[in-house]
Structure 1
Amino acid sequence: MAGHSKFKNIMHRKGAQDKKRSAMFSKLSREITVAAKMGTPDPDMNPRLRAAVIAAKAQSMPKDNIQRAIDKASGGDVENYEEIRYEGFGPGGVSLIVEALTDNRNRTATNVRTIFSKNGGNLGASGSVSHGFDRMGLIEYAAKAGDAEKVFEAALEAGAEDVQSSEDGHEVWTAQDTLHEVAKALEAVLGEPEAAKLAWRPQTMVSVAEGDAGSLLKLIDALDDDDDVQTVSGNYEVSDEVMEKLG
């Protein structure tokens, strides 16, 4: 389990309970509304909105919910959300980047700081860990999209910078300014991806021992449970053996 994913891995680990699913839809809706408000409400003309809609579809969010979130952007009562990034450290020396959309900066900052301190981590200053990450485009495909060779060839032709394939699926990395160009080229060959987004790619990974892994995952779960937190990225790597022991 690597640490650049959004909340998908956490949802898989904890099970898709109704409560978790509702919280997931709420976060996805917020991102869709913000993206639509910042640009055009047409996903084909608004790369950020298109990425948000793709993420929502990947989580089986109903089309009506997606459309309502888009329509909300043009309403007069839509909340004004602010994008905030927090950086900190978790158990085992792991670096974490937390991205939030909030209508109350003080509430979110207090919550995030408390979650870090209660779960063996500490919040750092802006820039304290992001220097160890590259901001890149990430396009994710399920394993059923094709074998590693097929995806690699398609990604190379589309202009991607790197591909990582495993039994769980494929990750295609691009320069951030070519993300949507590469995503469209890949979609023509492989179909619609599970995600096409900007992500934080660690420059080096930290292998987390069993003793720290449980605490780290609790910290990530707690951050993900916060209503304002949209993504949690990190440079952690937890082996399959340790994940099995943790259950």
Structure 2
Amino acid sequence: MAGHSKFKNIMHRKGAQDAKRAKQFAKVIREITVAARSGLPDPAMNPRLRAAMISAREVNMPKDVVERAVAKASGAAGGDDYSEVRYEGYGPAGVAVIVESLTDNRNRTASDVRAAFSKFGGSLGETGSVGFMFDRIGVVAYDADAANEEDMLEGAIEAGADNAELTEDGHEVTCAPEQLNNVREALEKRFGEPRSAKFDWRPTTTTMLDEEKARTVLKLIDVLEENDDVQSVYANFEIPDDVAERLSQD
């Protein structure tokens, strides 16, 4: 899931991360597969593959697993063929939700996503039905000790980014989506490899949720993220600090 830091942190604290590692690996391998087939199998010549390999390091995927995934994707034998599909709809309390997937069976994925929305009182809409409530951006993230705030901002501006901010999670540099690869490359020359570099959907407006509604929305997101075909889930809600604290104890 991506979006507001409060509910990101809630999700990060819920459950043992080890239990999700295999699923994380599977999702990253799908992205590596699609990226390797979309261009050259050399990350230096394939920006999407480069970003996918950074994501692999972010989830501590062993180097040999990454190399095997690239080799398999670029081999003549082929293997699974994934399509990129985005789903949009409204969850509980009218929360707007975007689901990005890589699937080898569109009918199966659409059915699963629709069922998840329905189970929690939401409804799946057409592509574009909630996308207008989000901005598509590129995000490059660094740990806080990669640079001081002033140097990172200066580097971001010179790289052509729109903004750089030091948050509780580290430095976050944002840019237009078409500038993501250029910004990442410029920052990498100055500060080293980033922790992550990816596209994001950021809500332009958010809905504040009480505890009951927040629990239901988080359950929907949990179910969606558990689906092997789903790569990322974005939603436009916020949770008050006191509610977030209680939910983190679950």
TM over 0.5: yes
2:150 corresponds to which residue? 149
CA contact (8 A) 1:87 1:128 kept: yes
* In 2, Cα distance between equivalents of 1:189 and 1:197: 19
* Cα contact 2:58–2:195 (8 A) shared by 1: yes
- Determine helix, strand or coil for the equivalent of 2:108: helix
Cα pair distance change 1:16/1:145, threshold 3 Å: farther
- The equivalent of 2:237 in structure 1 is 236
Cα displacement string for residues 178-215 of structure 1 (whole angstroms, at most 9, x for unaligned residues): 11111111112222112111221222232222231111
Identity, % of aligned positions: 57
TM-score normalised to the size of structure 2? 0.91
Letter in 2 for 1:64: D
1:4 to partner: Cα distance = 6.2
8 A contact 1:84–1:100 mirrored in 2: yes
Aligned to 1:12: 12
> Residue 44 of structure 1 aligns with which residue?
44
In structure 1, the residue matched to 2:137 is 136
State the match for 1:191 in structure 2. Answer: 192
Q: Structure 1 residues 81, 41: CA separation in 2 closer, same or farther (over 3 Å shift)?
A: same
Alpha-carbon distance between aligned partners in 2 of 1:32 and 1:25, rounded to the nearest angstrom: 10
Is the contact between residue 2 and residue 236 of structure 1 (CA under 8 Å) also seen in structure 2? no
Tell me the equivalent position of 2:73. 73
What residue is the counterpart of 2:86 in the other structure?
85
2:30 aligned counterpart, secondary structure: helix
Deviates more, 1:147-156 or 1:175-184: 147-156
Unaligned runs of 5+ residues in structure 1 are none
Normalised by the length of structure 1, the TM-score is 0.92
CA distance in structure 2 between the aligned counterparts of 1:138 and 1:228, rounded to whole angstroms: 23
Task: Report if the CA contact (8 A) 2:2-2:8 is conserved.
Answer: no
CA contact (8 A) 2:32 2:70 kept: yes
Q: Counterpart in 2 of 1:110?
A: 111
The secondary structure found in structure 1 opposite 2:98 is strand
Supply the distance in 1 between the matched residues of 2:117 and 2:193 (Cα, whole angstroms). Answer: 36
Going from structure 1 to structure 2, the CA distance change for 1:77 and 1:112 (only over 3 Å counts) comes to same
**TM-aligned CA deviation for residue 130 of structure 1:** 0.5
Distance 1:150 1:236, change over 3 A: farther
Residues 2 and 237 in structure 1, CA contact (< 8 A), matched pair in contact too:
no
Runs of 4+ in 1 over 4 A off after TM superposition: 7-11
The equivalent of 1:166 in structure 2 is 167
**1:151 CA drift (Å):** 2.2
Partner Cα distance (1:68, 1:168) in 2: 31
Q: Is the 8 A contact 1:113 1:122 kept in 2?
A: yes
Pairwise CA RMSD: 2.1
Give the deviation of 1:9 after TM superposition: 5.2
Residue in structure 2 matched with residue 207 of structure 1 by the alignment: 208
What residue ranges of structure 2 are gaps of 5+ in the alignment?
none
CA contact (8 A) 2:4 2:238 kept: no
Deviations 1:63-110 (A, max 9, x none): 001111101112314111111100011223221110111111111001
Q: Distance in 2 between matches of 1:164 and 1:210?
A: 29
How many residue pairs were aligned? 246
The one-letter code matched in structure 1 to 2:52 is A
